[in-house]
Amino acid sequence: MLAPIHIIPAGELVCDFCTGTPVVKRYGCQSFDILAGRSVGDWAACARCRDFIDAGDWNALVDYVLEKFAKNHPGAAPPRAVARAYLLDLYSTFRKNRREKLGAEEN
Ligand SMILES: [Zn+2]
C-alpha cells in the first residue's frame, strides 16, 4: 500500500517548522547555509510552533515537528535520534541568525 502524500497547495504559506497552516508569525532571519542547501530569509510559524519558539522550548518544538512528520509521511521518518540532532542543530543556527532576538531564549 502506498503511503499517503501530504500535499501543500501551490502558493500557500506554510510553517517552516512543521509545514502546518495557517501561518501566524514571521521571524526575521538572515539567510544561512544548511545541510542540504541554504535557508533564505524569514521563517514562518503556525500558532503551535510559535508558542514553542516564543517560550524557548526547542525540545518540545522538535518533538512536535517529528511527530507531525511521522504522521504526514508514515514509513518515511528518519531515525528519531538522527532527526532530533539535525533539527536541534538547525534551530540553533536559526536562533543565531534571527534579526530580532528575545533575551529569554538564548540558553
Ligand atoms: Zn508549525
The low-confidence residues of the chain, meaning pLDDT below 70, are 1-10, 101-107
* pLDDT tens digits for range 18-28: 999 999 999 99
Residue given cell 533575551 in the structure block? 103
CA of 49 to the centre of ligand 1 (A): 4
CA dihedral over 22, 27, 88, 49, signed as positive or negative:
negative
Q: Which residues surround ligand 1, an ion (CB under 5 A)?
A: 15, 17-18, 20, 46, 49
Report the candidate in 48, 43, 29 with the shortest Cα–Cα distance to residue 97. 29
CA 81 to chain CA mean position, Å = 16
Burial of 41 (C-beta count, 10 Å sphere; 0-12/13-18/19+): exposed
- Averaged confidence pLDDT in the chain: 86
Q: How far is the CA of 60 from the centre of ligand 1 (A)?
A: 12
pLDDT at 34: 87
pLDDT of residue 78: 82
